[in-house]
């Protein structure tokens, strides 16, 4: 299958290793990955902060770039949710029937990574090896927008060597919330403190999720506290293998 | 038009109001405990209700339908209530509502009234208006009484005094009821409340209530409660005055079968709350013989005219969104500067109220979606929050602010591959003044809110796209050199496709 | 009294303006896919009803038409009650001998009240009483006699039965008066009856 990767602007800039892992993983599974270089950002930050007009050209841009893709993989549930939850309404508001049509045609081909693996490719065991104690944080968009349910956990349970430990209050927001983390910094910090307490209680080495945005937030707090817990995107765990250990 | 929502006019921005609350250990412990208990109970009784989603869908549809024909249903309610001996009044805003209520009380020569919990009366600041006219309102809901006697503010829709613990309640009761002895067990405190109020229930001639539902079909009213103070206020006085927002009307008696299943489970985690009272106008020999309903607009028709946010008017004031909200759970309702707190408050207050004074509220959410998930009438609160943020941004457009400029610049940057890649390069170079020993620990301006409690990994040397481009170049080179196979194990797992 | 006629017209006008562009909506087409009829057999329904009442700290006694006066006497004896006030319309033949039946004027000092009901709901442990609002409220104890045939499984079934009484004063009672306003601890009997007894009559 030819899979077009929408890496997302912040993964591209701040977390290249996640994108590399997605490429490695999908190619290992026998698929062809395509990365349209014209892509930039889905517009989520603008849209959610109230700059809906500024998000419009970014929506159009996304649609133009990916309209002919066979399948689009987004290794970020909040960006996938942006496309799925808000693009139809945004397109609707323009009254541009071609655009509305294009968005409607595009949506069924947009997959978050775990969705792509389990729902589209029918896989749970992706042949990964990751000998670490890991806890999984369910990001809000993965849980309540995309309704991923236990898909990421099903993938993690099949990873050889991985010691999966349940995170208490797994469905509670970590306090990131995009610009919320700076606009309401103190409340966000209080939420983060709760999340960190739960992560530390698991005694895991690694906290994983399907969103680097939440992980950046959780890790930011963990590192400040010198907690000695890493955060790693799900893609990187799934891409790890015995042959390629340490890649 | 003058619109009052509690104290919102004077309220500080959310992030400022939250600060002292975040430091209030006792408050946070109480709020955490209360919200945990209700959340757990709710999850249990919602979990056993196998048709929960169907009930939500019907409730949402009934409310939407009613809003669409609100004029018709209000007129129908008015006609039927009047025919049953009630009097219906209409109030455009808080001042008009207070004036009507004051007139009705003064006509009866009343000096005091007994009140059953009503958010709407807080919305219009009824108590201060009555007190200014020399009329004493007695709050009779236990929590409201704790708030009133303690000269405090409510922090929750359903359990307004959840931020007070038993010792605090005991102190308030001893002082205000003039008691020398009082235990601090909840039983002792509720007994004190019973004794204190019983005499008032039997003596005061005017009762005052809100309404959970106005039934258009019959002209009836339904009030949902637990303690029996509601029943006292609704049945013992000679005169009963009920205030209700115009969105409280439902088409038929039968519609209650939906709402009475959703509300108690959502609000208190009970299968059914102890008491629901239904009455229609005046019943001969039964209850108050002089009954008035005030239908309050106070900004609701304005909300109705906003297609994106009119769903706010579906709200049945259950408070489930508050208990589920991770922001509310940290700050309590006191940070919202309005009697309507939590996620529903974050959308309702700015709409009922002049946006200028409540424009931080739509941002008092991480958009985690927990509120929408639990909402029994399916109000997509995150969607409305985002919509209202858009309104805030548009209203601020005239004043140049750093955030707006930054957002516009970012939008430009994302508008082409060239500008995006340039910005990535610039960012990598520009970040070095802020990087020390491999970490970003202090950022300037608003971004400093991030580094106050969080480290940040600097931008790595290579972006993903640079890595990709290099990889493609290498691939091409390999392809050019003869005899090399590039594609990796084609078709290895093709048969696994779903 | 301020003249609110204009306010009324203004509010209705604003509503009509706000709804001007919205498509009409038909009440009859509202989807109601929730459970509307019973799914359990009679024995299960009655057991569920009793279980729910127990969970609300109510006391349940079973009786038949013949044994109801004895059952009432037994409940009063257990509660150390020598008097009670009886709701209008309660069949005198169901009352035991030797109890002082109080008048409505003695309401605030009555030891307890006795009432029948219109409908009861197993699913939520709810008893619905028409009228008698004061006497089922002020005394410390309420004893309610429920016929098995009055118990339905679901809330919608109860509303179907109550439809002819839709404009009557109705009280839905689910357990004794209670509050959880202080530290979320459920406390019985704030202002309404502290104790609820139910006699479930096989008919």
Q: Express each pLDDT in B108-162 by its tens digit.
A: 998 999 999 899 999 999 999 999 999 999 999 999 999 999 998 887 777 888 8
What does the pLDDT read at residue B401?
82
Nearest CA in chain B to A17: B464
Chains with 3 or more CB pairs closer than 8 angstroms to C?
B
Tell me the C-alpha distance between A24 and C57, whole Å.
62
In the numeric block, the tokens 């959410």 are attached to B365
Q: Residue B323: list chain C partners with CB under 8 A.
A: none
In the numeric block, the tokens 């613990």 are attached to B165
CB contact under 8 A, A122 and B372: no
Query: pLDDT higher for A95 or B487?
Result: A95
Q: Express each pLDDT in B381-436 by its tens digit.
A: 999 999 999 999 988 876 668 888 899 999 999 999 999 999 999 999 888 889 98
B and C: number of Cβ contacts within 8 A: 248
Q: Express each pLDDT in B40-73 by its tens digit.
A: 999 999 999 999 999 999 999 999 999 999 999 9
B163: pLDDT strictly greater than 50: yes
CB contact under 8 A, A220 and B364: no
Tell me the C-alpha distance between C118 and A127, whole Å.
65
Q: Residue C177: list chain B partners with CB under 8 A.
A: 226-228, 274-275
Domain A133-239 coded CATH 3.10.560? no
Contacts 24+ apart (CB under 8 A), C38-43: C38/C152, C38/C153, C38/C154, C38/C157, C39/C153, C40/C122, C40/C153, C42/C148
CB contact under 8 A, A191 and B417: no
Q: Express each pLDDT in A137-158 by its tens digit.
A: 999 999 999 999 999 999 999 9
B496: pLDDT strictly greater than 50: no
Q: Average pLDDT for residues B313-325, to the nearest whole number?
A: 96
Nearest to B331 among A13, A187, A224 (CB): A187
ipTM confidence: 0.96
Chain A: give the shortest CA distance to residue B442, in Å.
12
Q: Average pLDDT for residues A69-98, to the nearest whole number?
A: 97
Chains with 3 or more CB pairs closer than 8 angstroms to A?
B
Chains with 3 or more CB pairs closer than 8 angstroms to B?
A, C
Contacts 24+ apart (CB under 8 A), B9-12: B9/B353, B9/B354, B9/B357, B10/B337, B11/B336, B11/B337, B11/B338, B11/B357, B11/B358, B12/B337
CATH of domain A2-120: 3.40.50
CA distances from A7 to A50, A237, B468 (A): 23, 17, 11
CB contact under 8 A, B19 and A220: no
What does the pLDDT read at residue B478?
84
B83 touches chain A (CB under 8 A): no
CA distances from B195 to B165, B175, B199, C36 (A): 21, 15, 7, 42
Q: Express each pLDDT in B71-88 by its tens digit.
A: 999 999 999 999 999 999
Tokens representing B63? 């409310």
What does the pLDDT read at residue B356?
58
Nearest CA in chain B to A34: B468
Tokens representing B418? 């060239």
What does the pLDDT read at residue A244?
66
Q: Express each pLDDT in A203-222 by its tens digit.
A: 999 999 999 999 999 999 99
Beta-bridge partners for A6 = none
Interface test with C, best of B142, B217, B248, B274 (most C CBs within 10 A): B274
What does the pLDDT read at residue A246?
47
Q: Residue B417: list chain A partners with CB under 8 A.
A: 37-40
Nearest to B220 among C22, C167, C190 (CB): C167
Tell me the C-alpha distance between C181 and B46, whole Å.
21
Query: pLDDT higher for B10 or C167?
Result: C167
Chain C: give the shortest CA distance to residue B125, in Å.
19
Is B385 part of any domain?
no
CB contact under 8 A, B439 and A49: no
In which element (H, E) is residue A207 found? strand A206-209
* Centroid of chain to Cα A212: 6
The answer to whether chain B touches chain C by having 3 or more C-beta pairs less than 8 angstroms apart is yes
B377: pLDDT strictly greater than 80: yes
Phi first, then psi, for residue A231 (nearest 5°) are -115, 140
The answer to whether chain B touches chain A by having 3 or more C-beta pairs less than 8 angstroms apart is yes
A29 touches chain B (CB under 8 A): yes
CB contact under 8 A, B257 and C155: yes
Nearest CA in chain B to C32: B58
What does the pLDDT read at residue B495?
39
- Which range of residues forms the domain containing residue B116? 8-303
C5: pLDDT strictly greater than 90: no
Q: Residue A116: list chain B partners with CB under 8 A.
A: none
Q: Residue B194: list chain C partners with CB under 8 A.
A: 189-191
Chain C: give the shortest CA distance to residue B406, in Å.
36
Is B233 part of any domain?
yes
When divided into structural domains, chain B yields a total of: 2
Tokens representing B266? 């959502």
Nearest to C191 among B161, B215, B232 (CB): B232
What does the pLDDT read at residue B159?
80
Nearest CA in chain B to A222: B454
- Which range of residues forms the domain containing residue C68? 36-202
What does the pLDDT read at residue A203?
97
Q: Express each pLDDT in B170-186 by its tens digit.
A: 999 999 999 999 998 98
Contact B140, B232 (CB under 8 A): yes
Q: Residue B372: list chain A partners with CB under 8 A.
A: 144
Query: pLDDT higher for B432 or C154?
Result: C154
Nearest CA in chain B to A215: B456
Chain C: give the shortest CA distance to residue B31, in Å.
9
Q: Express each pLDDT in C9-50 by its tens digit.
A: 999 999 999 999 888 999 999 999 999 999 999 999 999 999
Tell me the C-alpha distance between C90 and B81, whole Å.
29
B368 touches chain A (CB under 8 A): yes
Is B109 part of any domain?
yes
Q: Residue C168: list chain B partners with CB under 8 A.
A: 280, 283
What does the pLDDT read at residue B26?
87
What does the pLDDT read at residue B456?
94
Nearest to B186 among C17, C159, C185 (CB): C185
Q: Express each pLDDT in B14-37 by its tens digit.
A: 999 999 999 999 889 989 998 999
Q: Do A2-120 and A133-239 fold alike per CATH?
A: yes
Q: Residue B216: list chain C partners with CB under 8 A.
A: none
**Portion 22-81 of B in contact with A at CB < 8 A:** 22
- For chain A, state the CA radius of gyration: 18
What does the pLDDT read at residue C3?
56
Phi first, then psi, for residue C177 (nearest 5°) are -55, 140
CB contact under 8 A, B368 and A48: no
What does the pLDDT read at residue B332?
93
Task: Provide, rounded to the nearest whole percent, the portion of chain B with pLDDT above 70.
Answer: 93
Task: Provide, rounded to the nearest whole percent, the portion of chain A with pLDDT above 70.
Answer: 98
What is the CATH number for C161?
3.40.50.10420
Give me the residue spans of the domains in chain A: 2-120, 133-239
Query: pLDDT higher for A160 or B429?
Result: A160
Confidence of residue B8 (pLDDT cuts 50, 70, 90): very low
C1: pLDDT strictly greater than 60: no
Is C8 part of any domain?
no
Residue A58, helix vs strand vs coil: helix
Residue A115, helix vs strand vs coil: helix
B5: pLDDT strictly greater than 60: no
What does the pLDDT read at residue B399?
66
Q: What is the DSSP letter of A116?
A: I
Q: Residue B464: list chain A partners with CB under 8 A.
A: 7, 11-13, 15-16, 18-20
Tokens representing B244? 């209700």
Tokens representing A212? 């680097």
Contact C150, C115 (CB under 8 A): no
What does the pLDDT read at residue B4?
41
- Mean pLDDT of chain B, nearest integer: 91
Tokens representing B375? 């909402």
- Mean pLDDT of chain C, nearest integer: 92
B2: pLDDT strictly greater than 70: no
A245: pLDDT strictly greater than 80: no
CB contact under 8 A, B304 and C15: yes
Same domain? For B293 and B431 the reply is: no
CB contact under 8 A, A19 and B467: yes
A and B: number of Cβ contacts within 8 A: 217
Is B74 part of any domain?
yes
When divided into structural domains, chain C yields a total of: 1
Tokens representing B247? 């969105």
Q: Express each pLDDT in B211-235 by its tens digit.
A: 999 999 999 999 999 999 999 999 9
């Amino acid at each position: 299958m030819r899979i077009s990767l929408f890496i997302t602007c912040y993964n591209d800039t701040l977390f290249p290793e996640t994108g590399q892992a997605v490429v490695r993983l999908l190619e290992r599974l026998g698929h062809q990955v395509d990365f349209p270089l014209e892509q930039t950002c889905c517009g989520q930050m603008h849209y959610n902060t109230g700059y809906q007009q500024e998000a419009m050209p970014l929506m159009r841009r996304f649609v133009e770039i990916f309209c002919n893709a066979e399948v689009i993989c987004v290794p970020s549930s909040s960006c996938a949710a942006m496309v799925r939850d808000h693009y139809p309404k945004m397109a609707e508001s323009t009254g541009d029937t071609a655009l509305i049509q294009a968005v409607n045609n595009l949506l069924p081909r947009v997959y978050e990574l775990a969705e792509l693996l389990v729902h589209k490719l029918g896989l749970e065991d992706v042949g990964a090896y990751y000998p670490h104690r890991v806890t999984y944080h369910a990001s809000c968009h993965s849980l309540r927008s995309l309704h991923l349910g236990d898909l990421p956990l099903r993938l993690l349970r099949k990873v050889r060597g991985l010691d999966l430990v349940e995170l208490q209050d797994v469905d509670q927001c970590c306090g990131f919330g995009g610009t919320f983390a700076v606009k309401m910094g103190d409340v966000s910090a209080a939420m983060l403190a709760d999340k960190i307490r739960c992560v530390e209680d698991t005694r895991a080495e690694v906290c994983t999720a399907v969103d680097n945005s939440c992980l950046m937030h959780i890790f930011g707090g963990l590192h400040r506290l010198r907690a000695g817990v890493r955060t790693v995107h799900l893609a990187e765990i799934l891409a790890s293998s015995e042959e390629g250990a340490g890649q | 038009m003058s619109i009052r929502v509690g104290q919102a006019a004077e309220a500080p921005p959310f992030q400022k109001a939250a600060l002292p609350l975040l430091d209030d250990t006792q408050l946070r412990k109480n709020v955490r405990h209360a919200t945990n208990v209700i959340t757990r109970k709710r999850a249990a009784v919602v979990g056993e209700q196998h048709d929960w989603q169907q009930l939500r869908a019907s409730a949402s549809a009934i409310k939407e339908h009613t809003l669409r024909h609100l004029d018709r249903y209000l007129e129908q309610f008015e006609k039927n209530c009047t025919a049953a001996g009630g009097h219906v009044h209409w109030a455009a805003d808080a001042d008009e509502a207070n004036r009507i209520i004051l007139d009705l009380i003064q006509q009866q020569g009343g000096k005091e009234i007994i009140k059953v919990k009503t958010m709407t009366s807080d919305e219009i600041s009824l108590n201060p208006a009555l007190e200014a006219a020399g009329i004493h309102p007695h709050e009779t809901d236990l929590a409201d009484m704790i708030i009133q006697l303690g000269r405090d503010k409510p922090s929750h829709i359903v359990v307004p005094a959840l931020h007070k613990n038993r010792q605090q309640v005991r102190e308030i009761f001893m002082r205000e009821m003039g008691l020398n002895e009082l235990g601090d067990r909840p039983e002792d405190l509720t007994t004190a409340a019973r004794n204190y109020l019983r005499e008032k229930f039997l003596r005061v001639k005017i009762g005052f209530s809100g309404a959970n539902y106005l039934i258009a079909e019959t002209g009836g009213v339904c009030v949902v409660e637990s303690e029996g103070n509601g029943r006292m206020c609704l049945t013992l006085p000679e005169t009963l005055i009920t205030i209700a927002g115009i969105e409280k009307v439902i088409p038929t008696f039968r519609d209650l079968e939906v709402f009475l299943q959703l509300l108690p489970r959502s609000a208190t985690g009970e299968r059914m709350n102890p008491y629901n009272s239904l009455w229609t106008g005046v019943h001969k020999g039964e209850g108050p013989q002089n009954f008035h309903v005030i239908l309050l607009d106070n900004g609701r028709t304005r909300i109705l005219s906003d297609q994106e946010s009119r769903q706010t008017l579906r709200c049945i004031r259950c408070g489930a969104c508050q208990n589920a909200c991770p922001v509310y759970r940290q700050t309590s309702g006191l940070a919202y500067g309005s009697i309507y707190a939590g996620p529903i408050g974050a959308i309702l207050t700015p709409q009922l109220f002049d946006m200028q004074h409540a424009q931080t509220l739509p941002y008092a959410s991480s958009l985690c979606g927990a509120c929408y998930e639990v909402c029994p009438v399916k109000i997509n609160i995150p969607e409305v929050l985002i919509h209202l943020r858009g309104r805030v941004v548009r209203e601020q457009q005239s004043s140049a602010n750093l955030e707006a400029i930054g957002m516009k610049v970012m939008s430009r940057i994302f508008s082409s591959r060239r500008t995006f890649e340039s910005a990535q390069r610039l960012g990598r170079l520009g970040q070095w003044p802020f990087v020390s020993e491999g970490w970003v620990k202090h950022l300037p301006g608003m971004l400093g809110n991030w580094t106050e409690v969080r480290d940040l990994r600097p931008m790595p040397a290579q972006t993903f796209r640079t890595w990709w481009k290099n990889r493609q170049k290498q691939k091409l080179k390999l392809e050019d050199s003869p005899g090399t196979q590039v594609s990796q194990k084609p078709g290895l797992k093709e048969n696994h496709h779903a | 009294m301020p003249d609110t006629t204009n306010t009324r017209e203004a509010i209705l006008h604003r509503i009509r303006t706000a709804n001007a562009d919205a498509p009409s909506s038909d009440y009859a087409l509202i989807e109601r896919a929730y459970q509307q009829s019973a799914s359990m057999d009679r024995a299960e329904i009655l057991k569920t009803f009793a279980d729910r009442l127990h969970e609300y700290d109510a006391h349940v006694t079973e009786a038949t038409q013949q044994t109801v006066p004895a059952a009432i006497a037994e409940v009063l004896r257990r509660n150390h009650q020598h008097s009670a006030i009886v709701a209008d319309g309660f069949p005198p033949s169901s009352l035991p001998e030797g109890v002082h039946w109080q008048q409505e004027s003695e309401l605030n000092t009555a030891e307890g009240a006795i009432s029948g009901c219109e409908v009861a709901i197993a699913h939520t442990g709810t008893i619905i009483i028409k009228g008698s609002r004061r006497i089922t409220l002020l005394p410390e104890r309420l004893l309610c006699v429920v016929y098995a045939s009055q118990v339905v499984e679901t809330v919608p079934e109860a509303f179907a039965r109550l439809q002819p009484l839709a404009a009557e004063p109705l009280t839905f009672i689910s357990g004794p008066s209670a509050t959880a306003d202080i530290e979320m601890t459920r406390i019985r009997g704030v202002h309404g009856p502290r104790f609820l007894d139910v006699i479930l009559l096989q008919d």
